[in-house]
Amino acid sequence: MTFDKKTIWITGASSGIGKSLAIALSNYDCKLIISSRRTEALEQVKQLCRNPESVYVLALDLADTESLPQLTEKAISAFGTIDILVNNGGISQRSPILETSIEVDRKLMEVDYLGTVALSKALLPHFVSRQSGHYVVVSSLMGKFSSHYRSAYCGAKHALHGFFDALRLEHEKDQIKVTMICPGFVNTNVARNALIGDGSKQGYQDVMTENGLDVDVFVQKMIKAIRKEKFEAYIGKFEKFGVYVKRLSPRLIHKLVMRSKVR
């Protein structure tokens, strides 16, 4: 597939992967809708894009699912259609299960899972009516296997795979594509912004994230996977091989993750 003449909607576009993706895609002959909660930061991203006049800023909060149908209509009206929705918005978590309040679990599910599902369902009739559409979902390798101190995050990401695998099955007849992007460690602020057990932010970078893929390198690999319309893409350094190890032996991946330094 090509991005030329397409309209692409990116959530979580004010920083990290979403910001880098928006800037990279602005080099194509396409139109962009960029969303997050922070309008001012989105406006700054817009000005970094190659053709700011082809970028539409639309603030939204994935936790406010009731607002998403109306905002979806606003997004469609911006350029008349949407061809690709990149579900990138979300938050992470870093805390032991025993120290994690149920409110944190609920928050992760509300934002990372239910918010993404609600937005995708709001856009689905548009895709069906056009008999065309592509969902790109930024999951995680933690959506394929788990690790310490990320129980709520792993739960939400695993759930995304279940939902979007079903959506792909139900709507293949409507020419709707689904690509699950599964990052490993990427050097963004995801760890700094991750919630700890009481719901506050961790506030510091961890070693594995800091040593992860450069975000711009990651985005180029992500773009390649989207263009190829892959079902799933595992993007990272050595950690991406955990997906294949788990297929061979769940016990072995358990032992390998136990040995890893994840904090």
Q: Which residues are catalytic?
A: 153
Q: What is Dmax (Cα atoms) for the chain?
A: 52
Contact partners, residue 248, CB within 8 Å, separation at least 6: none
Q: Provide, for the chain, the percentages of residues in helix, strand and coil under a 3-state DSSP scheme, each rounded to the nearest 5.
A: 50, 15, 35
Cβ neighbourhood burial of 143 (10 Å; 0-12, 13-18, 19+): buried
Alpha carbons 114 and 99: distance in angstroms, whole number: 23
Are the CB atoms for 220 and 192 separated by under 8 Å? no
Phi then psi dihedrals of residue 69, to 5 deg: -60, -45
Alpha carbons 110 and 62: distance in angstroms, whole number: 8
Cβ neighbourhood burial of 101 (10 Å; 0-12, 13-18, 19+): middle
H helix intervals, 94-199: 102-108, 116-130, 151-170
